[in-house]
Structure 1
């Protein structure tokens, strides 16, 4: 029964429901073809004026559907040509149907072909390949253990501009490539970068498989799905990769008739868990007849499917579309991924990275990172989008009005907090690893007022909430949090000022060692993260002044303090000591809390791509083979005890080191790091 629709939304819904209807066809009874006229609902007055339902009007839709088991893309033009011929002349063909080749004849012939050579070819093609190992694409989630597929798709389509499209076609022509082969090469290079250096790549490609002239005019399912495997050299140029892929395609063409099920059977694997079947490549060239349907002068226009109506048959499917009939956007690509694994925004970003890959290979834009296809390694193709390299510049650091005194811990705080608990025994802490003591002694003939110092310290701690902030794991939220301790929370307890004395160097060294190693000096859960230790020589000063034999230690916990923070601390402490005041706006000043919140929201796509590339194939769990004297026991906790040695470079070596850095425009830090790498090597 023909359906009716009132508007475009209803029409799209009917088309979508037809697309996913599992009862539309019945293979066992040969019902593989469906045709339906969808009529637009008309008003009563219009119906009275037009009650002739024998004709399809301009507001109606002709819906034709096939089951893929009996129909492929090449069958489309054959079907429409015969449909037009039958409608216009009421005849199909002058050829005797009893003598004409039918699909069933092809099927019988296919089983009689000697495929010994092809069997050996495909066995060698996939020899040594891990067929169950999935391609490590940037999915948002893993597939459910039961393997259930929803069929929902995340889709993006990118139209390449005229310059890139023409450059693509020119490159193919000069290098004697088909567009299919060049598109496949680009996909291999792209997947190599997207998977951060995976160089043994195997994907599925669709082949028309009409290998004889007699098959060109048959309606049926001829398309073969075949594994295209390459083992690329990450240092090869794009031109080299092009030739490799071209030769691979030509060799496969000779054996494209060999059925996929035979390939898998020869390898003794089942189709249910084959990874290459989930990554599919196709190339479609639109001909002048592709979308044309004209019945006795009545022309039909194809209705385009909405992207949201697509069904994801594979995890990752890329289709290139070349339409030479268009003036603009002749070349485009269509990326369809399963929503079971990929969010829509992820697929959109993958599409943008592929577009940027095209720009590097075929654009002449000076602002683009142009790849020399002849000499430049494919590893130099950059998938980090230009705007992602500047993503930090768009971040605005400002006071977060909705944050009062509590926020998630920063990434740096979380790393330090976890490190203290993972690498060292959290139940029996014997030694601190993140105490940061800074030791100062007055110059001769200089004095310092203890009373002024105390007041200045209070002012400085007041200004910087980090110096009275607790870090604690919130079990209910399952998150590490930081909280500023305020005056309502016994704020005065978080500033610890200790006074002791020493007489000998040995006693002083013990005090210094204790400041560095004692884990009891700080309590992150209580916000005790800073202490000032005043050490007097022999006795506590009666006049409340520090002399040059006395020492001052400012000690911080690293979770709330780093080395650059010391310059800020000393600047504010000096101002507070000198002027007796420290001006700041507690309502508008940026706090570390605000930074931690903003940090959680920062875009990090580019940074993530960089580090995944940088650390690919790095054996992070493999220790460096240093010449140590003993092995660490599997259940052994770190004691924290260490042995150290220091030495001076000497005047000549120091001069040459500085000269080398200056003459080569290298920072001292980078030169020292390079030297360290050479030493470790």
Structure 2
């Protein structure tokens, strides 16, 4: 089980000040304890690490393809060493699934998702079998659950599950907490794609015989409240209705894509069930409907200003530009210019989905071992070959930045 930060305060009030609090981790298959960490609570601490390996143990963190992950990435923890069990008695089928041979040593597949930080500390993220894939993006419910628990001391438990293809639902155990408070907290601490579509507050979450939350008994969420909650936030008066033909056309398009009949024009698309991929789809529909210049309206602007009123204003500004920029043939010697539409889309998608600065999905570190059969490897020739490759293909030495107007530009380095 993860170690909640709230539990530390409870323990500190229950034990002598000289006592040290340890966080120990390990499945029964690794003889109970495989990692340890002495907890030193600091004000900015949000997660308690499971720490480092005990002497005699080794670990490997792998992705879904059983390939080692890099620092900061989430993967399944494999534990090897002196405490790993030999197998399940009389169940060779389970043993074959649980144990894996790596370079002649047995490792146990824990099924636990962890990440390693730059200090060499392991952090428990959640269970592999609870991992969610939403709109092509893998999510860790444990991260969202921890964020919800931090919203208020009145929350005693939380479970995040996926409903259908497009919705995350957070079930919260509390006596006094509003969905509005929970949403506001999550929106300020999580990327938009990780904020649950719906928060369901219960006095008691259903438990199974082992005292764990029984996900099969969780009540079916009422998605009709998505629109009603958005309407109540703006009191759904006449100001929330389309005021002109442009807003009406945008409102109709939103209703079509979201499967709704009525949407407040001042509500954010993310508060009525929208997400980043749907917003990209919306951008392409706008382009078809209004035939605007992509240089005058970008997806980044739609993300930042995400209501019907905002989109109508941005489209009006784009359509009222008297002289559109024309596509021009650029000389091969040019070293700086705006990003192409495809580059902007990829860059923006990365910013939305991967907010952490520790991750860069398009930088894939690889290590190759080179060997020569008939002669020695010439380092100088290899260096010249790599240099020629980078010189020939300018994209390999191109950086992306923003100019003084906030537009994305690419610059070829010398």
TM-score by length of 2: 0.22
TM-score by length of 1: 0.14
> Highest relative contact order (Cα 8 Å, sep 6+), 1 or 2?
1
